[in-house]
Chain A
Amino acid sequence: MDIFTLSLWAIATVAFAASLKKNKKKTFESIKMARGLMKGMIGQIIGILFLIGLILTFIPPETIKELLGKSDALVATVAAALAGSVTLIPAFVAFPLVGSFVNVGADIVPAVAFLTTLTMVGIVTFPLEKQEFGLKFTLTRNAVSFIFAVLIAISMGVAL
């Protein structure tokens, strides 16, 4: 375990002990809730993790590098942002998936665009959002989020 993960474990342990000491009942209630949330995601988590193995075995790193690294950066970025908009997987499992692509040489600009639109732009949840907030709000918010996701990605490319 690296130092970062270790320190997180330390923080979580101390916080958990303090929480237990302060209010046992409330702590267990929220642990149950968090466990329920995790249970809802665990199938997808395991699925994605083992899918990464399949992808890395059958799509050679050179191909990933070619498609998401050396090809036209803007096209790759917009395509990644579109993919993120239509995909509905929890951000939680998106990080290892994107990490695996970056590790074999994918450019980070499309990676960032995918991560940002994945959580901020929702084509699948569009009808739900429209029902609550109206067409104009939903359309504007999603369009603006898409544009900013691409801008964030390009700035990341410049900064890193």
Chain B
Amino acid sequence: MKILELMRRNKLLVFVFVAYAFLFSVMPDKAYMSVNNSMYYVIEMLEIMPVIFVLTAIIETWVPKEVIIKGFGKEAGIKGGILSFILGSISAGPIYAAFPVCKMLLKKGASIGNIVIIMSAWAVIKVPMLANESKFLGMQFMAIRWILTVISIIAMSLIVASIVKEKDIPGSGTVGPEHITGVAVNRSYCLGCGLCANLSPDDFEMAEGKARWINGTLEDDDIFRLRTVMGKCPAKAIDFN
């Protein structure tokens, strides 16, 4: 069961493994050649992966993301734009991990233009990723692409903001403290990083690569503790319901 689950989540790996197994039995010389061709990239990846791993962790620890989010109001103009760039660039995870954060900021009054900046920067500009890009495609390539991307993101935010207005975006109410009945982890957004289960093993567990709330009764001090964990979730995928 567990093996099946692992295979389901690693379809590509299983496919490549089967291809190699087949190749080694039918055309071993081609198989050796493929392994040799891959080795260069495997070694390069091993050289850079620990660095990216450590940088991601350190940025997550020491850049005061919460402060940036808290200070993000209706700030328009250049300051809001720069904050948006910073917020997007320091965050971990793919673009969809930005959706809940952006939704929350919209409710706090952030402009559509700034939301586009956060999402795009979140997708394309990440400090550890820039290191990875330099490694495989060269520093000049990375630098020019970075400059062009920043210019494009500014233009895109202006264009989208002129077409889409606030009334086009569906709102959704926040849950008030008197209506809290439980905790939900949004599985579409959960990155499976396991931070919540590490911080609060009595409340959260990992199942099938995603976090899950361990059902229990909620007292006032539980809610306070859970809020802290929710605030730390890099994808903001945990909420009360």
Contacts and interface: CB of A to CB of B under 8 A. Distances in A.
Interface of A: 1, 4-5, 8-9, 11-12, 15-16, 19, 22-23, 26-27, 29-40, 43-54, 56-58, 90-92, 95-96, 98-100, 102, 108, 111-112, 115-116, 119-120, 122, 125, 128-129, 132-134, 136-137, 140-141, 144-145, 148, 151-152, 155-156, 159-160
B152 interface: yes
B62 interface: yes
Nearest to B44: A96
Given A12-B51, A16-B54, A144-B160, A160 B140 contact: yes
B56 A96 contact: no
Interface in B95-113: 95-96, 99-100, 102-103, 106, 112
28 contacts: A12-B51, A12-B54, A12-B55, A15-B55, A15-B58, A27-B58, A29-B199, A34-B53, A35-B194, A45-B49, A47-B12, A50-B20, A53-B33, A54-B16, A57-B34, A91-B126, A99-B41, A99-B137, A112-B145, A133-B115, A136-B164, A137-B168, A137-B169, A140-B159, A140-B160, A148-B155, A152-B148, A152-B149
Contacts of A119: 94-95, 123-124
Contacts of B73: none
A148 B145 contact: no
Interface string B124-149: 10100101111111011100110011
Interface in B58-114: 58, 60-62, 92-96, 99-100, 102-103, 106, 112
A57 B37 contact: yes
Nearest to B198: A32
Contacts of A22: 62
B225 interface: no
Name the residue in A53, A98, A128, A160 with the highest tally of chain B Cβ atoms < 10 Å from its Cβ. Answer: A53
B152 A151 contact: yes
A95 B132 contact: yes
Nearest to B148: A152
A96 B43 CA distance: 11
A34 B60 contact: yes
Given A95-B133, A141-B116, A155 B148 contact: yes
Contacts of B141: 108, 156, 160
Contacts of B35: 50, 53
Contacts of B192: 36-37, 39-40
Nearest to B234: A33
A91 B61 contact: no
Contacts of B188: 128
